Amino acid sequence: MTQPELTERQLNQAGLGAFFRPRDLEPLGIGAAGLRQLAAGGVVERISRGLYHLASAEPSEHHTLAAICARVPEAVLCLLSALRYHELGSQLPREVWIGIARKARAPHLPELPVRVVRFNAAQLQYGVEEVRLEGVPARITNPARTVVDCFHPWKLRLVGKDVALEALREAIRHRKATPDEIARADEACRTSKTTSAITPYLEALA
């Protein structure tokens, strides 16, 4: 057995996702020289600066999401990308929508299609689920929180009213979220004391 084959088995056994950063190999004792050896042996592929892919990993429908979550692990998948993941609405976003802290530096990912929005501290935590995409740890807003985000005043201008209403109707119709869950998410994530933008529509459907 060659050394690259042995290392690939170790990577799989260690639970490394399809995408990873060089620093993710440090607990395995693999540094820059070892990573270059893996790339030369065809075990891993360099996708972009600071991002690698296991050559043997089979791509799924969440391939691009997994790549971005590996590169920006603190980000939260949200809005149109979260709608698509939860199968709410008919949107097929060309970009991956991620939420990051207000003062965080925007990631530089020229090879990957990313749309960045800003969240406050509460919005980075409330209604955020932890999932794995192609073995990569990822954070994503749950259905109730995703719907609420679509009705946020300036985010509503980004996604469009028709998209927001479609998401709300389908979340309730397909029991992805209850009206109470949506109302709680709205209360937790609203940044002002003004009347909620989603409440009139929620009351009409409920």
SS3 category, 109: coil
Is 44 within 8 Å of 53 (Cβ atoms)?
Answer: yes
Whole-structure pTM value: 0.88
pLDDT on residue 10: 72
Residue with tokens 């950063």: 21
Q: Per-domain residue ranges for the chain?
A: 3-54, 69-205
Mean pLDDT by 10 residues, the chain (206 residues): 56 81 88 90 90 90 95 96 96 95 91 93 95 96 97 90 96 96 92 77 84
Contact, 83 vs 92, CB < 8 A? no
Tell me what pLDDT residue 30 has. Answer: 86
Tell me if 93 sits within 8 A of 81, measured CB to CB: yes
117 near 53, Cβ under 8 Å?
Answer: no
